[in-house]
Amino acid sequence: MVTQSQFSQVQFQAVLNNFSTLYNVMKAVNFVDNAMVNLSNDGIKVIVEDAKSIQASAYVTRPCFSEFKLALARQTSPDTEDGTQPYVAFGLNLKVFTDCLSMFISGDFDSSLKMIQKGTGAPLIVILEQHGEDSLTTECSVRTMDAFDCMELDFADEQQIRSKINVKGPEFFQLLSEMDRNCDEIEVVIAPNVPHLMFHSFGELHSESSVEITNTSDMIITFNCTDASRNRYKFQHFRLAMRTLALASKVALRTNCEGLLGLQVMIENNDKSHMFVEYFILPLMSDDDETTMN
């Protein structure tokens, strides 16, 4: 058990009251076991990716925590040279972490989560406290790993962005839920003209289905499209994102000229703070792409 005197020696310490939302978010992005964890003054970022074709980043923002302390190495300036905030990075088995959280997640209990790490290479200490007449405390030590490289995907170049769409989370989740779950691929068409947004699924035995949405739909919050785009993606990647979309209050869709699809999912925490999960889904190679490569 970590003693009070040891708290002053740690690199990272945070407390999260009522951590059920965190558990649900971590469970949703746990489609691979190992994740990259970045700790910064803005909060926690957990990154997972599969087969270099889909990446999910879960952001647990600092306002979600009732206590958050991070001792970063001294910098010559507030930001690093590339303009990003300094951070601490390490690898973590996300399945082990979520299994630890699950011990106190069931039932209507007032529980809190404390996370502690002493420094580079040290395990992540997870302390779960269940408050009440029968106060219970459980401590888990989750081994960390060396940081590893992840794909660098973003929409930093505004000139490359073709579309930005904000939609209501529950309605968007319902739309995708009604599509054929057995389909192999899904085509996303976004255009300045009607129907503006279309999802076209392709399944076995040449079965097809499509859904069209105009920018006047109640589901659409804002719609901006400069150039029409038509890209196909593995529907399996949408299935992975569905676990998070089920929790969404709002979703932002973005595409760029290379067909990269971004889904930024906003999730309300129990105390009205917010967590975010951002998915980057790479498009399937088209026949035109293959011809160009040859």
In a domain, 188, yes or no: yes
pLDDT averaged over every residue in the chain: 87
This prediction's pTM: 0.88
Q: Check pLDDT > 70 for residue 76.
A: no
Number of domains within the chain: 2
Q: What angle do CA 130, 135, 136 make, to 5 degrees?
A: 65
State whether 178 and 266 are in the same domain: yes
| Domain match, 32 and 100 both | yes
Residues 217, 244, single domain; the answer is yes
Assess if residue 7 is contained within a domain: no
Ordered DSSP codes for 38-60: EEETTEEEEEEEETTTEEEEEEE
In a domain, 113, yes or no: yes
Residue 121 lies in a domain: yes
- Give a yes or no: residue 117 inside a domain: yes
Question: What pLDDT was estimated at residue 83?
Answer: 52
Q: What is the DSSP string of 181-212?
A: TT-SEEEEEE-SSTT-EEEEEE-GGG-EEEEE
Paired residues of 34 in beta bridges: 93
Residue 153 lies in a domain: no
Distance CA 143, CA 254 (A): 36
Are 107 and 209 in the same domain?
no
Highest-scoring range by mean pLDDT, 79-88, 103-112, 140-149, 178-187: 140-149
Contact 233, 186 (CB under 8 A): yes
The whole domain housing 232 covers 158-289
- Spatial CA neighbour of 165 closest among 260, 234, 264: 264
Whether residues 115 and 199 fall in one domain: no
- Tell whether 22 and 134 lie within a shared domain: yes
CATH of the domain at 125: 3.70.10.10
Q: State pLDDT tens for residues 221-278.
A: 999 999 999 999 999 999 999 999 999 999 999 999 999 999 999 999 877 889 999 9
> Do 18 and 117 share a domain, yes or no?
yes
Is residue 5 one of the residues assigned to a domain? no
Alpha carbons 283 and 129: distance in angstroms, whole number: 44
Does one domain contain both 42 and 111?
yes
Read off the pLDDT band of 85 (50, 70, 90): low
- Check: CB of residue 231 under 8 Å from CB of residue 255: yes
- Both 34 and 120 in one domain: the answer is yes
- In terms of domains, do 128 and 166 share one? no
CB 182 within 8 A of CB 204: yes
